[in-house]
Structure 1
């Protein structure tokens, strides 16, 4: 990867000050001078940067970056000097009374940490700067212009951190606003150039972050990150004992990125890697930079597992049978970490990140393990005050079960609640758990290896969902520690940054301004204007929503219906339009910017589209082959072409600037169970004989909503599979497409022309005739209705007659299709959604009425979910109110029906809920209530209790809640035809309703459900 420097971004509500953008932070940078600005660079001269020699090394190093950032933006590099305020000081690098140390202007930028920098402390005493807003606060900072801070300096822009990272964040905050992206190296984002730089005299300020420890977990790093790092940072051999490429050259790049993102914590790569063993500079350099070290949920006391145990352990990894050896192993980790800032993972999992062997007795064993680990801390740290040693216990998988079953956890230990590996938080602190002195936090995933299937190839999580889940964590005080599993880090750059940005300052963000995060990000990374930035936001939303509907590793040829609701067509149309937008911007950006745009936007779009087109083409190949249509061979060729194209995009990524090789090595096609395939394998395709005529002539006819084909027997033509009648199609005025279709295909080598006639004048046929051949093998015929000519239910018979060339058996062939038109009518005074095609489908956000109770109301979470958005009771947190049906906030939908299921008076109403979990515990299961008109409300608690430490059975599997990204909750109601009101009642606070489907007998199989009904 090229060592570039790049672009700027900053605030949640996009703030602009003289051209500086701010995402998640206050703006204090300008590019034009005014009476209220301080000059950083002007006319080829830069204000010098001054620090005290006794400043933290990490701050000194960040100041070097700060000076280099200014140079990358302006071409002018400021001097960077260590000074003291006293001329008699023996360790002064430069005498502060000598104005040449500060440049000829008599101005300077002075950087330092309260209580650490003698220079800053002296300036505070001299000038009485009010530092009370940051004094003693974790990672806070302020910056402002100060007059006469030191002898010889008439004015200085003073940057003060409350602690080491406060100072570092202040510098990187300014660098970002100057025009340097945190991803300048990791994503090759070039800098935004400016001839001059200024800062507002009033400066910037930031208090303590929302979340104390904010970090990432590099995990499942083989094959992509590990192979890339081996080429980039080693001679190909890696560490002596493990072969790992993750040496200090790699990690210092990672540490800088984290600090620029305003993260402070990391769980290092663990598989075949040992952070402290692979390179003895890793651990001290992390501390030197200012990064808090930890180890993952299954790696106690700063020891990397499994490599370190495999190298140095004695006997089995089993505390019940090998206590002393395991204890001694842990002691080395604690002693090794003692000089440095760290958060110690406690507890224990079994070998290979599996549960401990044993049953209920594991609780007693785990309590002994934790007690012994804390005794070890007392010995190593020579203290009895355990609260001075940050400790975290990860309640991951079965470990949560120990806690739920009553395991005692010391009060000063941070509890790290986990999601279900798919972004749904399993448990958050209940009100009585929020007073623990250790606090709690969240372990979250945007990459995962495990059932029901790995997802680690490409971005497939929505920031909208991450916001919804993590905002609930904020409201429930789970803010001591956040860790996000980012897999290989790339290609999750934007999502990783959003997670950290939200943890840094949650107050900047709400459900209505998430889009501004993406537009601001696009402006920072690519320098786009507001229109192009909005296009990027739409691109990112479309791709992430699509991939989050079902992880790409779970796609197949029939994920999206090929015959119902034109679903696959609609999905591909959206992705193709998104691809067109991305291509337009890719052509527009400069050559220097293209590598960054390709990595961050273009590649995810094109790779997603290619894979989805491949899967749909494979599905159509199999469908048309079953219908004896030669176009199956075209789709086979398309699958083969797209399979090659998938790899070509990988090659394009790997050859970017000659620096990205292997970063897209992850296989993603051909899964047969949860674990990754060892190579990509093309979806199954077949071929039909093109040279042999179909047994019943060359014309093959299929109709919308049916896998069958005519003429001839086909298992899908009717339930018997043979002797089936000619096809029938039905249509009503509230069909959302306004027509039906019939597909005419070529079967064999024959050439024919066909014409369509009808016995009813109200049928509109487009086209009425066409000629087909093996080179032009398919024609779609649309059938619509002139409803002004139809009363009630009428039928039309359409004759599809083929005239066949050079066929000794058939010269003509006719197939009849019946079109039934049901002219349903809605009363003129009705307003709401109307049944069409035997269903009413409603996006949850499109309610007619919304009623609040006790300050809670249903609000829309824009963009969340599988189709449009979701609605949920808001605000979260607080008293954690729940209600019985009829007592809480409600949201209402008006609908009109003409039918019931089998005309027996019943309908099925399905509430499509996000696959959230019982995060307040199984004694508070998620529930929702539905009521039709004034009838009795029905309540369903749709996430059943599970054995502690496990998930409900329906969560799992390739068709389970999490794979499908939806939980369908169905209710049966007696609803006669006519106008009705559906009322949805809040029962529990964190439910998310995405869509409502009312089945009156016509709902067909599909992944997304029927498209939204017509609303009058």
Structure 2
């Protein structure tokens, strides 16, 4: 085989049978390849028309897929007597069509009972007319469909071919070399999505662009959604339910389409018994949605739907909340709510017994433990054993609780409802996809390994632009074993982007997207206004400091510009037919996130620089407004993609919250006689006292900046005079000119060899000439750590920053241990207390312990140690998130990272993805200090620690690099 063709065939997911049979690799399959389309063979497709509509849908979509690849569309037949030549046979394994070809004993024993599975088998000459039969047989119609669509992926039709305009790779010949194969059962039984908050994308797009004949999300839109779900090996939908959208059952064809595609229909936590209360509960006709005072009308309302839905595959949400995502009406306290819910559940199950199946255990039911319902469950609510408990995250990706050892024994099992998009307090994130894949992996695999795997539902808002996270979630639900190690996320991203855009771009795109998610983990794009909602506040300055820590604002801007440049570099190399998919999956979310960050970060620079009297403040105000305009342009481009196919899908201002506005920036007109100014790192403004840069430490390669800027002057010449030869500056002199170069930033670092030759001076002066003015800046050095081990963790300028995974010792006690999770957290490596099934621990001598060593140069009575963890929740409803902290030989302090409800602590935790606990410690002498962290609860994930020796309780907002003295 030609090498180039071979490489292409591997990339496209299928193999090309060599023309020379002697060169064929027969190790993978004793049978020759199955020719779908060659000059000698053109396959046809056979399915049993009496075996359900989904077989027909699968057969016709496969024919379309083959046509997309080859421009040859196979004939589709339903009568085996008409079959001849090469035939793709589609059906369930117990159907007459499949058994007539395979025989009952040809199928592996017990396979027929496996949930939603499929097999592939090639048979030579099964009839006189059929030369080869390639059989795709499922244990049920969905299993068959998964088998069909996984073949589509192999021949080069991506699941996102329609929803993200991923082009199909064309082939002049198509030969499938697929060994006989039995699939595993899916890891999670019911796997799907919740269409939510569709008001700004999916609904207006469907109503005005894709399905104007319905004017809503109707059967045409749901057909495309259901096809996507099957191509992603999923099976469940919670339909859109906001006031902008009519209820799913309002359009009778919606349910018919779900039945045809064999998609299981459920409803959200707030919608019992397949009802959409927002659209369907008519208070004027029915009265209050109150089971205490209006039981008859409420029960009739539910019964009508149960009768209507009796012939569709459904999961019934059990229980009762308010009409729309609110607490139950008419109850005064938790005890009363529990009593009412007991009656509700009993009555709902009686309806199911009456109209669906007297054997209630055979009816899929779900009780979602969400918001206040969790409190009712903790308060003693008894949920029948055959109902699936569906646990939830806190809307920001952290699961509130999972099943304990007793709950794991429930017949109905348990599951998870998880958010990748959310409307609500403390702030929405409905616009861009920003939930870190490593967070999704960590939380969902935690759920899976604790046997919460009967139902997994992902809130994906409008579907777009959450394509990758939706794929990741559903891939985990289908085959969780692949995702046991967090490092697989990189492989998964490589595969996702490489399959679409080419393997040569896969690693670079994965790095770009990884950095995108890392930046969003530090602060989501939608949270950059430092505002909140419910109630909605106006925007505030960010917590990033432009004057310290290397200029946190500029560092974040630079980080976004780096990934933007990476995007542009790849986009310029792509063929034209990939540009639309690239803009949807990569370019728009990255550029939009970058610009909303720039909008606020440049705003902060403008305001802060104006206070210093800098002329450049107006430039940053302009840059802030330009960033807003860039988002408008990007969004307009999105809605014009693919000849207007996505018109109305992207809205840059969901809910019109203040964070999305073009900020009004009022710059103060400062009256000053100063013509030029300078500012140094860690100093807010020039002072009459001798300014000094942060201390430089022996053999450390840190640098700090000095800014020179115009105030009233039209121009300025600046230079360093008599610069000590052991001090390195990035620029020794320069010229500032109004409206051109209004400021210069000079980085100062050390030549340590020259410093040693100069006698290791402790301090010196940098003399800065600004036109006729002379300014002195003090430089200090420290040799405090000359005699400590290389790469030690040390105090620098009053701070010690320690990565949690940089311990000196990790003591394991029996099965209790601190386990590293890579790729996750602000440091990309957190230490998690395991196993997750362990109970709270009280004996310090019998638990796992992390030991840390650090060195300080300060003696302090009142230093502050801040421990930063991932803001997760206790593993089960009765658990905690405790650790024991021991500083030197001081008594052990117990800290608990557990938060309650929607407290202000929890709000700040999820907005910044940090949980912080602080203790006061003393440093009686300089030198080596020790820190021990004792495991007291399962599920704690430690990220980093900050010791502040200067009696300051606050720490920098931006995560800073660990303070390590470099190797000597």
Do the two structures share a fold, i.e. TM-score over 0.5?
yes
Q: Which residue of 2 aligns with 1:924?
A: 879
- When you count helix as a share of all residues, which structure comes out higher? 2
Q: Which residue of 2 aligns with 1:719?
A: none
**Residues 71-470 of structure 1 correspond to what in structure 2 (within 5 A)?**
71-84=67-80, 95=81, 101-103=83-85, 107-115=86-94, 117-125=95-103, 128-235=105-212, 238=215, 245-272=216-243, 273-310=245-282, 313-357=285-329, 358=331, 359-360=333-334, 361-381=336-356, 383-470=357-444
Structure 1 residue 1014 corresponds to structure 2 residue 964: yes
Structure 1 residue 513 corresponds to structure 2 residue 488: yes
**Residues 605-620 of structure 1 correspond to what in structure 2 (within 5 A)?**
605-620=590-605
Deviation (angstroms), 1:374: 1.1
Deviation (angstroms), 1:375: 1.5
Deviation (angstroms), 1:991: 1.4
Deviation (angstroms), 1:536: 0.9
**Residues 705-854 of structure 1 correspond to what in structure 2 (within 5 A)?**
705-710=682-687, 725-733=689-697, 738-757=702-721, 762-775=726-739, 776-786=741-751, 787-788=755-756, 794-803=762-771, 812-827=772-787, 829=789, 831-854=791-814
Change (3 A) 1:639 1:62: same
Structure 1 residue 910 corresponds to structure 2 residue 883: no
Match of 2:858 among 899, 902, 905: 899
TM-score normalised by L of structure 1: 0.87
Q: How far apart are the structure 1 equivalents of 2:412 and 2:338?
A: 21
Q: Which residue of 1 aligns with 2:543?
A: 559
Q: Which residue of 1 aligns with 2:536?
A: none
Deviation (angstroms), 1:322: 1.2
Change (3 A) 1:661 1:709: farther
Q: How far apart are the structure 2 equivalents of 1:761 and 1:21?
A: 57
The more displaced of 46-55 and 787-796 is 787-796
Match of 1:686 among 619, 644, 666: 666
Change (3 A) 1:740 1:372: same
Deviation (angstroms), 1:313: 5.0
C-alpha offsets along residues 185-237 of structure 1, whole Å, 9 cap, x if unaligned? Answer: 01000012233333345233212211111010010111222111112233377
Q: How far apart are the structure 2 equivalents of 1:56 and 1:257?
A: 19
Which consecutive residues of structure 1, in runs of 5 or more, have no partner in the other structure? Answer: 1-15, 85-94, 239-244, 669-674, 711-723, 804-811
The more displaced of 782-791 and 395-404 is 782-791
Change (3 A) 1:687 1:936: closer
Deviation (angstroms), 1:461: 0.4
SS in 2 for 1:968: strand
Deviation (angstroms), 1:179: 0.6
Structure 1 residue 533 corresponds to structure 2 residue 513: no
Structure 1 residue 664 corresponds to structure 2 residue 654: no
Structure 1 residue 999 corresponds to structure 2 residue 948: yes
Q: How far apart are the structure 2 equivalents of 1:518 and 1:139?
A: 26
Q: Which residue of 2 aligns with 1:989?
A: 938
Deviation (angstroms), 1:663: 1.8
Mapped contact 1:459–1:547 kept (Cα < 8 A): no
C-alpha offsets along residues 466-513 of structure 1, whole Å, 9 cap, x if unaligned? Answer: 110011101111101011110111000000111011001101222121
Change (3 A) 1:626 1:953: closer
Change (3 A) 1:284 1:20: farther
Mapped contact 1:51–1:82 kept (Cα < 8 A): yes
Mapped contact 1:482–1:503 kept (Cα < 8 A): yes
C-alpha offsets along residues 936-964 of structure 1, whole Å, 9 cap, x if unaligned? Answer: 543322215x3xxx3454102xxx11111
Q: How far apart are the structure 2 equivalents of 1:76 and 1:498?
A: 32
Q: How far apart are the structure 2 equivalents of 1:727 and 1:616?
A: 26
Deviation (angstroms), 1:688: 5.8
Mapped contact 1:837–1:1002 kept (Cα < 8 A): no
Q: Which residue of 1 aligns with 2:51?
A: 55
Mapped contact 1:792–1:822 kept (Cα < 8 A): no
Q: Which residue of 2 aligns with 1:648?
A: 633
Q: How far apart are the structure 2 equivalents of 1:995 and 1:791?
A: 37
C-alpha offsets along residues 33-63 of structure 1, whole Å, 9 cap, x if unaligned? Answer: 6443422324243322211232221122111
SS in 1 for 2:959: coil
Deviation (angstroms), 1:136: 1.3
Q: Which residue of 2 aligns with 1:972?
A: 920
Q: How far apart are the structure 2 equivalents of 1:1009 and 1:679?
A: 23
Q: How far apart are the structure 1 equivalents of 2:456 and 2:307?
A: 25
SS in 2 for 1:770: strand
Deviation (angstroms), 1:676: 4.3
Q: Which residue of 1 aligns with 2:21?
A: none
C-alpha offsets along residues 587-621 of structure 1, whole Å, 9 cap, x if unaligned? Answer: 11110011001100111111111121222111100
Structure 1 residue 871 corresponds to structure 2 residue 831: yes
Q: How far apart are the structure 1 equivalents of 2:232 and 2:781?
A: 60
Mapped contact 2:265–2:315 kept (Cα < 8 A): yes
- Which structure exhibits the higher relative contact order, with contacts defined as CA atoms closer than 8 Å and separated by 6 or more residues? 1
How many equivalent pairs are there? 927
C-alpha offsets along residues 788-836 of structure 1, whole Å, 9 cap, x if unaligned? Answer: 2576773333443332xxxxxxxx3333333333333331545522222
Mapped contact 1:908–1:1000 kept (Cα < 8 A): yes
SS in 2 for 1:592: helix
Change (3 A) 1:297 1:782: same
Mapped contact 2:69–2:169 kept (Cα < 8 A): yes
TM-score normalised by L of structure 2: 0.91
C-alpha offsets along residues 69-111 of structure 1, whole Å, 9 cap, x if unaligned? Answer: 1221122222221124xxxxxxxxxx25xxxx223xxx32212
Mapped contact 1:790–1:823 kept (Cα < 8 A): no
Change (3 A) 1:879 1:195: farther
Q: How far apart are the structure 2 equivalents of 1:696 and 1:817?
A: 22
State the superposition RMSD in angstroms. 2.6
Deviation (angstroms), 1:149: 3.3
Change (3 A) 1:414 1:312: farther
Change (3 A) 1:753 1:236: farther
